[in-house]
Every structure is written in C-alpha cells, then in structure tokens.
C-alpha cells in the first residue's frame, strides 16, 4: 500500500483529463445529466458495477474475501456562476461553473476507484462509491444526499464508514489538512416579512415604515450571537437579501428579507431560532408594525469521527510525509450535506490543498475565477484509495 501515491501519479493524466471534461460540462443540481453519463462511462470502463439514482450513481467494488464496507463520496453538481477563469476548458454552459471543486472531487473518487479496481482480488471487503448530485441545493429541503439515501444508496451493503474530501485553495497543493471535532456547521435559512403601512414619502407620520423596522430588526438580531451565544462558540446570522418598494417617494407596505444562520451545535441552533423569533416580533411591535419569521433547517453540521480521521491522518503521513499533513483546528461555518451520510455511518472528511500562489491559483470557493492546481488530484485519489484499504484491513 505504501506505493499508492506512486500509482496515483501514474494515472495523473487520466485524473486531469477527467476533471477537465467534468469542468467543461458543468451542470446544476439534479440536472447533472452529462456529468452522470461521464461517471457511468468511466465505471463501466473499469468493470465496476453501478446503479443510477436520478443523476446520482452508486458503484460497488467487491473484494474476493468478505469483510467490512467503506464508502467514498463525491458531490457532482456545479454552481449558477458565470465563469471568468479564461481556461481552455471553461464551462460550456453559460452561467454555470464548477466554482466549488466538485469536478475535482469527482475526478479524485474516480481515480481512487480506478486504483482500487485494479487490485480488487486482494481486497478484503467492499468499497461503495457514491456520486451525489445537488450538494449546493440546500434550500428547499430536497437535496441530493437525502434523495440518494431514500433510494437506498447506503444499503446492500450498508457502509461501516464513509469518507470524503473537499478542495481547499488557501491550502497548498501537495498537502492535506485534518480536523478533529466539528468540521462543518448547521446551515439554516430564513425569510422575514415585515408588514407596515404604506404611504407618501413626504408624509412618514401617516405611515408605518417597514424599511425602518427592518433596519432595527437587522441590528437587533446581531445581539443574539454577541449576547446569547457563548463567546467560546461560533455562530453566524447573515441577512443576504432585502427587497422593499419600487420607487423613491413611496413608503412601501412591506419588506422581505432572506438570510442564513450557522452554528456548530444543536444547543446554539435552538437559541438562534427562538431568539430570532422573539426579537423580530417584538421589534416590529415596538414600531406598531408586524413581522413574521419563516425558518428552515438546512444541512446539519457534522464532526469527524475521531478514529476515522486518525486513520486518514496516518495514511496521509505515510503517503506524503508529516510536513504535508496540516492540522486545522477550526471548523468552517459553511454547510455540507455529507453530514447526512455521517448520520448513518461514522464519517471523516479531509481538506485537499489545491492552491498555488506562484501559479496565481488562490481564488476562494464560489468565486468566478476559482480553479485548482491539478497536481492535487493524485494526492486526493491516493489518500482516498489508501484510506479505504487501511480501513478494510484494520491495520
């Protein structure tokens, strides 16, 4: 197993070609038709049996000897962003691009599957391969992970563990980072509607200005994080959209606001939700207005399983050396529906360094100029493949 990275380097051209084909054919959640066909084609070429769930794909590598089962997961959808990278393989679909690295995730998992399928006669146990659509589709509640789980992706056989990776452009290509404890936050969404009384802009005393009320609500909401959440915890309340009125001299009758909240535990999640309702309703009442909160729980947060992330850490050190394995203490407040899979089996996710300042590769995730240093691909494929073997052999 010690030469897995060497083997991954030998298929680097395959990894790059695959990633670029996926990038060129970027598609939005639940519409990954071409992407799904590419994945199916590659699994068929590897001799790996698979089944299709919508646009998702589930493959299975069975070893000669019965044993445990581990799953690898890749998200396959892109974002509604107009690409500005100028790459020769830029997305052919206008206003759709792989700005979150899902093309790289899919290429790495396909690469790991290719490596493992070539040695399946020596594998004890099974490796399930999950290609999941619609990771970015957090609202409404329907998303690719839950849809695949409902269709039985985590059954027959049921995985004893599930692993994944996510590209990280602040992270340097050639390195991986591991986190113990919380990794991703609870990602919830909300809508606030403030009902006032419209009127003439020159006669505000005859109206109840919902814009004024909304402004007070926005400011007051920030007190939840500063005064109700422990300073040792992390939480976020963000208003991302405000819509009110249509012209400059009319006080509108209502304001619509939308946003997101993030928290790292269920206790803080509940504090935020109840605190928001209280502040929104009472602030509006103080102005003689009325406001309502529509709160939607999104992706649950998740923490890495201690034993499984330790296994991936040791695997990374053996493959790349200690200096290439970085410890990241802090969780990200981003959401990730990999968490749904980890509700059913112990899970671990590593961050794959994919940035390179010398090459000008440093744009953050979800940026129109986001791209990766493709030398990261063999790193990702090899650490996934070797982690699977390590888990199955119980070393």
* Residues assigned a catalytic role: 299, 374
Biggest alpha carbon–alpha carbon distance for the chain: 81
In 291-346, which ranges are continuous DSSP H helix? 306-320, 338-342
CA 124 to chain centre: 30
Give the Å distances, CA to CA, from 12 to 108, 288, 347. Answer: 10, 65, 27
| Residue whose token pair is 């020596």 | 122
Torsion on CA atoms 112, 117, 118, 119, rounded to nearest 10 = 100
| Number of Cβ atoms within 10 Å of the Cβ of 242 | 15
User: Can you give the length of the chain in residues?
Assistant: 395
Identify which of 104, 159, 101 has the alpha carbon closest to the alpha carbon of residue 130. 159
């Amino acid at each position: 197993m010690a030469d897995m990275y060497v083997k991954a380097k030998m298929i680097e051209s395959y990894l790059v070609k695959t990633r670029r084909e996926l990038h060129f054919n970027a598609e939005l959640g639940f519409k990954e038709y071409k992407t799904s066909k590419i994945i199916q084609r590659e699994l068929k070429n590897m001799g790996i049996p698979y089944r299709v769930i919508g646009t998702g794909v589930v493959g299975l590598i069975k070893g000669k000897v019965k044993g445990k089962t581990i799953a690898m997961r890749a998200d396959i959808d892109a974002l509604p962003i107009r690409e500005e990278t100028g790459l020769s393989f830029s997305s052919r679909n206008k206003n759709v691009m792989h700005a979150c690295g899902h093309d790289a995730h899919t290429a790495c998992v396909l690469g790991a599957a290719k490596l493992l399928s070539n040695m399946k006669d020596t594998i004890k146990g099974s490796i399930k391969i999950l290609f999941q659509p619609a990771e970015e589709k957090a609202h409404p509640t329907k998303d690719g992970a839950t849809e695949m789980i409902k269709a039985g992706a985590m059954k027959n056989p049921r995985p004893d563990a599930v692993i994944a990776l996510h590209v990280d452009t602040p992270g340097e290509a050639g390195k991986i980072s591991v986190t113990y404890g919380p990794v991703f936050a609870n990602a919830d969404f909300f809508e606030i509607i403030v009902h006032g009384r419209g009127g003439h802009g020159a006669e505000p005393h005859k109206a109840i200005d919902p814009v004024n009320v909304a402004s007070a609500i926005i400011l007051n909401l920030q007190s939840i994080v500063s005064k109700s959440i422990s300073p040792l915890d992390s939480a976020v309340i963000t208003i991302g959209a405000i819509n009110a009125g249509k012209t400059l001299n009319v006080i509108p009758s209502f304001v619509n606001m939308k946003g997101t909240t993030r928290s790292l535990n269920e206790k803080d999640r509940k504090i935020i939700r109840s605190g928001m309702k209280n502040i929104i309703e009472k602030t509006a009442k103080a102005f003689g207005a009325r406001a309502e909160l529509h709160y939607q729980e999104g992706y649950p947060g998740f923490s890495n399983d201690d034993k499984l992330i330790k296994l991936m850490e040791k695997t990374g050190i053996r493959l790349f050396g200690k200096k290439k394995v970085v410890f990241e203490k802090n969780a990200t407040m981003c959401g990730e529906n990999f968490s749904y899979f980890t509700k059913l089996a112990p899970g671990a996710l590593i961050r794959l360094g994919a940035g390179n300042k010398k090459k000008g590769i440093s744009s953050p995730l979800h940026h129109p100029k986001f791209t990766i240093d493709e030398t990261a691909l063999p790193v990702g494929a090899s650490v996934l493949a070797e982690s699977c073997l390590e888990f199955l052999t119980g070393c």
